[in-house]
Structure formats: C-alpha cells, structure tokens
Amino acid sequence: MARFAMVIDTKKCVGCMDCVVACKTENNVPEGYNRDWITQEAFGNFPNIQLEIRSERCNHCENSPCVSSCPTGASHYHDIGGVVLVNHDECIGCKACVASCPYDARFIHPDGYADKCTFCIHRVEKGDKPACVSVCPTNCMYFGDLEDPNSDVSKLLKSRKWHTLHPEAGTNPHVFYLT
C-alpha cells in the first residue's frame, strides 16, 4: 500500500506563491479562495533573524479530524495513498470539517461543498506530480510514497532534519518541512 506524502525544503523555498497560483489554475479554484498558501515565520530581533517560509495545505493526516467529524461520510480516505478527499455529492456544507481541521485547510466552495487540497490525485494517478510540486521554480517540493524506501520523500526524511505542523493535535500529518 502506498502512503503519499509531501516534503518541502524550507531552506530553498522563497515563498513566491507559484504553488498557490498553479493550484488555482490546475484545479479552477474560484476567485477569493486558495487550497494552499504561504506562511512566513520570523524569529529573533533585527538583524539577527531566522525566517522559515512554508508552503502549507491539507496535511492528509493519518488520523484526520475532518474525516471523523463528517456526518455524511463525504470526507474520506482515498483507496490510494491515504489521501483525504471530499465527495462533493455527499457533502452538505455543514462546516464541521472546516472547524475541526487544526491547519485551517478547508473552505466552503461557492457551490456549497467543503473543498481543499487533493494532493492533485487526478494528476498523481496518471503518474504526474501535484501541480504545486511540478511548477516550483526552486524545486523545493517533493512528492512521493513513504512506503517506498527509495522515494525522494523517504530518503529526504531519513537524511534531513524535519518537522510537521501541530504535532500536538495527534493527527499524524503527511506534509513534512525540512529545516
């Protein structure tokens, strides 16, 4: 069984938002909404500053509060790779998932359903990378299968230091940030 994950090298990321734009055009995300976004976090005092730049999105958690809070079963784990998806037809737009997500990764699409990053599963199933990964001018984003020890993502998590977001939430997220 594959387990998809995204690994993002914060050392290379310049926060240019190309990932956000590419997602928007690839997935026709409506004006005023985004499925991914950039966070810049600065620590320290001028001029001794450290800056972490992160491209953030749904973490496709192993233990997803959005799936467990969904009253209709619209939010679910996909058959492949543990990707968390929303079945638009079953979603009633109740926002329980939006409230439960510790990453604030979901929004209600103007058409009435909960929407968020899909890891571009429509591309991945064809052998392509997610749009954000394939557009990145700095090549700072990696996508692959954690079950495969030879994948870029497995190797990077072995060789580099990394962290995840809100580990205290106990969601077991699958977007990793190299530092």
Binding site for another protein (CB under 8 A): 11-12, 14-18, 20-22, 24-26, 31-32, 34, 42, 44-47, 49-51, 53, 134-140
Considering the complex, state which of residue 14 and residue 92 has its C-beta at the smaller distance from another protein.
Answer: 14
Contact assessment for residue 74 and residue 85, using Cβ atoms and an 8 Å cutoff: no
Smallest gap from Cβ 162 to another protein, in A, equals 16
Smallest gap from Cβ 147 to another protein, in A, equals 26
The closest alpha carbon to 84, from 108, 71, 101, 99, belongs to: 101
Considering the complex, state which of residue 51 and residue 99 has its C-beta at the smaller distance from another protein.
Answer: 51
Considering the complex, state which of residue 10 and residue 64 has its C-beta at the smaller distance from another protein.
Answer: 10
Smallest gap from Cβ 150 to another protein, in A, equals 20
Smallest gap from Cβ 118 to another protein, in A, equals 16
Sign of the CA dihedral with 68 first, then 59, 101, and 115 last: negative
Considering the complex, state which of residue 42 and residue 92 has its C-beta at the smaller distance from another protein.
Answer: 42
Smallest gap from Cβ 72 to another protein, in A, equals 30
SS3 sequence, the chain? Answer: CCCEEEEEECCCCCCCCHHHHHHHHHCCCCCCCCCCEEEEEEEEECCEEEEEEEEECCCCCCCCHHHHHCCCCCEEECCCCCCEEECCCCCCCCCHHHHHCCCCCCEECCCCCEECCCCCHHHHCCCCCCHHHHHCCCCCEEEEECCCCCCHHHHHHHHCCEECCCHHHCCCCCEEEEC
Considering the complex, state which of residue 55 and residue 151 has its C-beta at the smaller distance from another protein.
Answer: 55
